[in-house]
Amino acid sequence: MTCCVALEPVPWAEAFGTSWLFSPQGLLIFRAILFLIYAASLLTHMHHHLVIENQGFFYLIYLTRWVLLIQLLYFILLIYTTRLAQRSPDVSQPWCISCTVALFTAVQPLSLGITAAFWLGTCGMWQLMEQSMGLSNALECPSPGYLKLFAHGINWILIFLSFVFGRIPYYVKNTGLLWTIALAYLAWSVAHYHLQIGTPEPCLTYKQNECPIYPKVIDWHPEQRRRTAAIILLIFVVSAPITTGIYRAIGLLRDTCDKKRNPYQCCGCCCRTV
């Protein structure tokens, strides 16, 4: 498969089946451990919200849960492509490599963005300021237990470790899936408002079936639309490009410090030999 620009290309098997730190077998074991921790935590998270709290369909209204499920698919494909790269390094690049690269490029900034938004916005500095003024809604931000920490921090750590200890390149031009997910969730938030789906827990400002998914971020009620539009514009124009740029820089730093690798770059979703 041909890259659109030939910039020191690498065999796909090297990008997916080797590490600057681990042996090939060690890399597979490391990624398997990450997957097991993630899968066990996600199953516990789903059991708590779907069975114990009986949220049903409401489980899927949150972007955090969308990303958790997408990350699970990423880890499954990562394990599969790692094993494939180590067992059959000489075959033509399989189709699943492009899928894994697309997921890899999407879940990294998504997990960081959700973690940062939760701790700096929903339950961080703003919440502390509101509490000090007696304006805080205790229902919105209870003390975080493991499941909340998993969904807003631990998952990002696991995803990030899969990035820094591997050799999969991060390219901004591969972020098509990231933007697709963002636009899909934006459309869902509008549909959620117009269909009056509401949230599993009541909110202070509206009837329960009119409660926005993220009251402080996306609220399509007429009096909040300008604020919501400004926040979304800030996310798409400033936050998302900065976050993807950070990951691009981290990837370049990782590769620059990688003394054991063969020099490479990849273009688009493909890698090739010369």
**Nearest alpha carbon to residue 63 among 213, 190, 196:** 213
84 token code pair: 């494939």
Q: 143 or 51, which is more confident?
A: 51
> How deeply is 86 buried, as exposed, middle or buried, from its count of CB atoms within 10 A (0-12, 13-18, 19+)?
middle
Contact 30, 82 (CB under 8 A): no
Contact 24, 86 (CB under 8 A): yes
Query: pLDDT, tens digit, for every residue of 127-143?
Result: 645 555 555 554 455 56
According to the model, what pLDDT value does residue 267 have? 40
According to the model, what pLDDT value does residue 10 have? 60
- SS3 (DSSP) at 270: strand
Query: pLDDT, tens digit, for every residue of 102-120?
Result: 999 999 999 999 999 888 8
**Nearest alpha carbon to residue 15 among 174, 168, 172, 170:** 168
Strand partners, 267: 270
> How deeply is 171 buried, as exposed, middle or buried, from its count of CB atoms within 10 A (0-12, 13-18, 19+)?
middle
255 confidence band (pLDDT: 50, 70, 90): confident
Q: 155 or 143, which is more confident?
A: 155
According to the model, what pLDDT value does residue 7 have? 26
pLDDT of 40 over the 90 cut:
yes
According to the model, what pLDDT value does residue 8 have? 40
The position carrying tokens 């205790």 is: 138
| Among 34-48, 50-64, 141-155, the least confident range | 141-155
pLDDT of 23 over the 80 cut:
yes
Instruction: Give the helix ranges, DSSP H, for the chain.
Output: 12-17, 24-46, 63-87, 95-117, 125-132, 146-149, 155-164, 176-194, 225-234, 240-256
252 token code pair: 């370049």
| Among 6-10, 21-25, 149-153, 157-161, the least confident range | 6-10
- The rounded mean pLDDT for the chain is 86
245 token code pair: 């740029």
From residue 36, give the alpha-carbon distance in Å to each of 30, 87, 151, 271.
10, 22, 15, 28
- SS3 (DSSP) at 46: helix
Query: How far is Cα 243 from Cα 251, in angstroms, rounded to an integer?
Result: 13
The position carrying tokens 């493991």 is: 146
